[in-house]
Structure 1
């Protein structure tokens, strides 16, 4: 049972979620992939804000003798559950955007089981999980259609990405610098800084792609497979390589995630177009940026 719970909880962890998100963005539907990404990042930013405000300790730090599992994934404070918020936002966004009955059922089951697994493993209180379910699903449903409409127009797309990217850049720069200088709580704000970094990078990256690239997800299976694999491998290389290269502090963690976001959503597609990994987007008469 312990092993099953650990496998289930991994479906809400960043490696799996980011990998699936990149597959959707690069090979399935660019616009929906980016909207799902923003749904997720918005949910996680709200979750991180609540964690920093409430600062609820985790069960295994309060209940003596509790044999918690997978505690290495339980960074930061407890309320609300990060895994539950992440999975609720991401999988509900997939179900909502693609609207296939079988896929929706699988997504609903994953959302439920990931939340339950966090309680079973002893890393979250029940209220953490319930709040994570509500937060992730509510924010996704509140934002999704608005974002889809907003990204139909090039001007509003650029305004949103540049303004939001600037806000998250300033916030992340200030927050990571304060944590590095030991002026604010590292437990509350270290992961928050990384999240602001990837958000900033993704927004600026997409703005670059829309301005200088505009790729299409079209192509035969082989094309989609290779562009996605190369994209994922390059992300791993950047994430691990910069971690080894940069000093170990929160500021450079923030910077590393900024670079990762810009690469994934901007520079990689732009370079990929130049070397024929991607096909160019065919302009539409309506001015829509759909892929």
Structure 2
């Protein structure tokens, strides 16, 4: 612990207004709003299969990370005498392993596996390292938290992407259902509200993926076969227009669904008696997150079909 604290104190000693901004930007780059926007753009507009694989990897890592955190229950360095932690509002829950680091590692490992280009490897490794260091610089994680965030992020990203590829190729949907059952059993013993929320996200993805794959099957393939070069021609302008419309309609409608479900969860106790609000909150949040992600994965593509925005 002394060595870890010395590392944090050293990073605190080199802080400056410029470095504060730099590391804050890097740490924000892996938070929910950014991940949602980039993943949505990939899945809805650029490459459907890449988007599915990326989402499955990131969401799976969310669940693993939260499960380990709730099992280990390690305390963060926040509040240690002499250490001034920054941006603690986003440093919620337990410390081990670092969620930001594991998310960044999962995100960029997924991109590197999918892109397989040298410049993407360089950028991805740089982002993975810097995001992890940013958590130490801000004083919200111990070095061991970041180290295992890197390890788990790489390991489980490879596992989840390979698993998804196998399921998608042979249409063995039962494997994903079995995975949900395993995570549900783990959730029962962990008994954590935050774990249940992430499990709800995974549930929404799995059910949404199966429904979309079997009954909707929207496509981004045609647009991918013709690279967008931003030259002035009607075909290229039409492709750019479709991408723009898909993204805007998808994000706005997803936001509306999210707000409606959140409002419904808030209003139900006002009109119906809720005897145990803690249990109610857990159940409602699980359902709410499941439905939001299900809509993003299956509902939005169906909307594209209805609006004739499908390839």
Q: Which piece of structure 1 moves more, 107-116 or 231-240?
A: 231-240
Query: Does 2:300 match 1:268?
Result: yes
Using the TM superposition, give the Cα deviation of residue 122 of structure 1 relative to its aligned residue in structure 2, in angstroms. 1.0
Contact 1:60 1:67 in 2 (8 A): yes
Query: Does 2:219 match 1:216?
Result: yes
Contact 1:39 1:143 in 2 (8 A): yes
From the superposition, tell whether residues 121 and 198 of structure 1 become closer, same or farther in structure 2 (CA, over 3 Å): same
- Give the Cα separation in 2 of the matches to 1:82 and 1:88: 10
The structure 2 residue matched to 1:252, chosen from 284, 287, 290, is 284
Using the TM superposition, give the Cα deviation of residue 31 of structure 1 relative to its aligned residue in structure 2, in angstroms. 1.6
Question: What SS does the corresponding residue of 1:60 show, helix, strand or coil?
Answer: coil
Query: Does 2:209 match 1:191?
Result: no
Using the TM superposition, give the Cα deviation of residue 146 of structure 1 relative to its aligned residue in structure 2, in angstroms. 3.8
Using the TM superposition, give the Cα deviation of residue 13 of structure 1 relative to its aligned residue in structure 2, in angstroms. 0.8
Query: Does 2:32 match 1:17?
Result: no
Aligned positions of 1:102-181 closer than 5 A: 102-154=119-171, 156=172, 158-165=173-180, 170=184
Larger radius of gyration: 2
In structure 2, the gaps of 5 or more residues are: 1-18, 224-238, 267-276
Question: What SS does the corresponding residue of 1:233 show, helix, strand or coil?
Answer: helix
Look up the match of 2:9. none
Look up the match of 2:68. 50
Query: Does 2:309 match 1:277?
Result: yes
The structure 1 residue matched to 2:244, chosen from 225, 245, 252, is 225
Using the TM superposition, give the Cα deviation of residue 28 of structure 1 relative to its aligned residue in structure 2, in angstroms. 1.9
In structure 1, the gaps of 5 or more residues are: 280-291
Pairwise CA RMSD: 2.2
Contact 1:115 1:129 in 2 (8 A): yes
Contact 1:212 1:270 in 2 (8 A): no
Contact 1:84 1:132 in 2 (8 A): yes
From the superposition, tell whether residues 118 and 258 of structure 1 become closer, same or farther in structure 2 (CA, over 3 Å): same
Give the number of equivalent residue pairs.
264
Q: Which piece of structure 1 moves more, 52-61 or 245-254?
A: 245-254
- Give the Cα separation in 2 of the matches to 1:104 and 1:13: 21
Q: Deviations over 1:105-151 (max 9, x none)?
A: 22211111111001111110000000000000111123323422331
Q: Deviations over 1:157-212 (max 9, x none)?
A: x32344445665x559x75xx99xxxx5xxxx232111101100011011111121
Contact 1:92 1:140 in 2 (8 A): yes
Could you tell me the TM-score, scaled by structure 2's length? 0.78
Contact 1:166 1:200 in 2 (8 A): no
- Give the Cα separation in 2 of the matches to 1:77 and 1:197: 20
- Give the Cα separation in 1 of the matches to 2:142 and 2:59: 23
Question: What SS does the corresponding residue of 2:36 show, helix, strand or coil?
Answer: helix
The structure 2 residue matched to 1:31, chosen from 49, 60, 67, is 49
Look up the match of 2:101. 84
